[in-house]
Amino acid sequence: MRTTLRFLSSILLLCLPMMATDPIYGVWRMREDPQNPAMKRQEMKVEEVSGGTKFSFDVVMAKSKFSYFYVTRLDGEAVDAIMKKKPFSKVKVKKISPVAYETTVTDLTTEQHYTSTISKNGKTLTNEGTGQANGQPLVVHVVFDRVQ
């Protein structure tokens, strides 16, 4: 009986870190968007780091490539998005449910407000919202598939 309890206790302890993992953690790849042919590829890596959650992006446009990141506590406080070791944008991310996050991105010419929702099976993340770029309204609708 003691051996069985020790065995079960060990299994439960091994499972605890997996149960605590935020469902947004992982690597996500954007689906092709016929509405935005200039955006060729976007990959987002989300991971737990000291001090919060790190979002890293690799973006391939028709004529350029760039990478950036930010670290947030998912509490809605503004943090700097960093590209080439310099801040270029402010980002606020707030976890509003176990599978949903509100995000605001602001820079010199763009402001976006969207909700990111992870599907029930955990394989899809969808950003839905609105914004403006250079004074023109825009609709945010981006779908990512989990890669890892």
Model confidence at 77: pLDDT above 60 = yes
Asked if 93 and 74 count as a contact pair (C-beta separation under 8 A), the reply is: yes
Q: What is the C-alpha separation between 10 and 14, in angstroms, rounded?
A: 6
Asked if 141 and 39 count as a contact pair (C-beta separation under 8 A), the reply is: no
pLDDT by residue (tens digit) across 78-110?
999 999 999 999 999 999 999 999 999 999 999
- Which residues are registered as beta bridge partners of 19? none
Model confidence at 22: pLDDT above 80 = yes
pLDDT by residue (tens digit) across 104-146?
999 999 999 999 999 999 999 999 999 999 999 999 999 999 9
Phi–psi pair at 22, nearest 5 degrees: -70, 135
- Structural domains of the chain sorted by starting position, each given as residue range(s) with its CATH number in brackets: 20-146 (2.40.128.20)
